Amino acid sequence: MKLRTLFFVGAALLAVMGPALADPVCSKLAWPLDTERALLNGSVDAVPSGETRKAMPVRALSLMLNPGAKADLPFAPAKPADPAKFAGFVILPVASAGDYLVSLSAEGWIDAVQDGVSIASSAHTSDGNCPGLRKSVRFTLTAKPLTLQISNAPADHIEIAITPAK
């Protein structure tokens, strides 16, 4: 009888723990994002949509977003915006040309625009099982102002970390 009980207890534990063991936290990311996770989960600077910053942030930004229908984005998003979701933008100086990672704390579409032209991403990774970090997208930027637009976000704010790619 004890062996049978032990078997059922073990089976129940595997049923509960199995998915967690099969899919460890942040295991689906294509590259290491420890720095970005720390930024997104640390102190952030609250930024209203439409703000122009004087310097690239050293901490993550918490971008305040507007309902999609009232977002007034300066450029049409590459992915159609859902009016039931949230959107916003910030303008940032890019001091040095190179590859940058734009990492988000939650679901959302990222448009990087320089000189009125949308910059295609060169890579992306995501993991819905990664606390505080939903996705990271790599963009090759020039040393010119960047309009960073977020659309299709589920809430009225989103944390953003912008870091040079390694």
115-127 pLDDT, tens digit per residue, is 999 999 999 999 9
Annotated domain spans of the chain:
26-164
Q: What is the pLDDT of residue 24?
A: 80
The set of residues, in sequence order, having a beta carbon less than 8 Å from that of 106 and lying 6+ positions away, is 134, 153, 154, 155, 158, 159
User: For the residues 12-31, what does the mean pLDDT come to?
Assistant: 64
- 113: helix, strand or coil: strand
pLDDT digits (tens, 9 = 90+) for 28-64: 999 999 999 999 999 999 999 999 999 999 999 999 9
Q: What is the pLDDT of residue 2?
A: 59
Mean pLDDT (the chain, rounded): 88
Are 118 and 26 contacting, i.e. CB atoms less than 8 angstroms apart?
Answer: no
User: For the residues 13-26, what does the mean pLDDT come to?
Assistant: 55
Domain 26-164 part of CATH 3.30.70? no
* Dist CA 47 CA 89 (whole Å): 9
Show the tokens assigned to 153: 């976000």
